[in-house]
Structure 1
Amino acid sequence: MHSETTRSAAAMTDDQAAAEAARIIADAYRPTAYRDDTPVPAHGSTPPVAQPGRPPMSQGATDASVLMLAGATATTMVGGTAAVLMYVSQYADPLTCGLVFGAPTALVLALARLLNRAKPDPDVHHHYEGPVYQDQRTTHTRTTGMWAKTTNRHG
């Protein structure tokens, strides 16, 4: 096999050898992958695929989960500090520690409740064409008892 390659290489002219060399170099530098840059349609029949990390959820659920994580972290830090203080001092009064470390938490909860009440009611704008009947009654639902009796009252 080697002798055939040598014999065919010897039988080539300089122009043929140059063309063969150019072909070999072009083959060596040919891309081995292709990237399709055509834009992907914004919608279609393929369902979305969940990505690694936090599961997909609404913005409200995301905000609530972050708030719960932050609250849990703050509670852990306050409780851990109180526990370490009582352990290190060996005579710290648990009631005093509870008051000192619980006061900021109570203050934050009170401020949060105050801010919730201070929110203005949203403006409601209705735009209709044609005859419209609006029922603006409020229903108060109360469920009580071991067998869960539900009572609806319109007010």
Structure 2
Amino acid sequence: MDDQRERGRELTAQEHFESIRLLADGLSGNNPTPTVTRWKDTVPAPTQPTVGDAVPFAQHGRPPMSLKATDHAALVVVYTWGSLPVGGAISLVLWQLSSVSPMQLAFAGLGAAGVVIAIGAAARMIGRAFRDGASALPDHTVNQYTGTVYVQHTELHTNTRGFGRTNNQITDGQQ
């Protein structure tokens, strides 16, 4: 019953006797039905701290909230600080563009679009080169048969030229 004393209250003689009786009933082998061995503390919990007489108050810093809410608040702060350089860069660009003539602005916009188009075309060419290089490699096929086997090999060759002009050619594998 030491756990009750640590909480700040001594057991009465009747409560002490009842707890010993419940333990003895539960541990004896004479009882065919199990005995309930729980005890409910009927004394209400103190509203004040058990040590000292200070009234609780909110601590400095972030207000008390759940871990999920704290993590979300931290992410909002991080994203807010992270958006400052982007906003500053956009502000500088717009400030510089305020003294530019409309013709220079049009050339700058077309130049940026041209760079994007050139990067896209280069990416397509590189992708096509990888596909062509992979298709030029010989297939590694290992077949193991027992008995008489008839093998029919069919290949499909596709050529596309211009806009949607496709030529499909089916061969039997011998050219």
Normalization by structure 2: what TM-score? Answer: 0.25
Greater Cα radius of gyration, structure 1 or 2: 2
Normalization by structure 1: what TM-score? Answer: 0.28
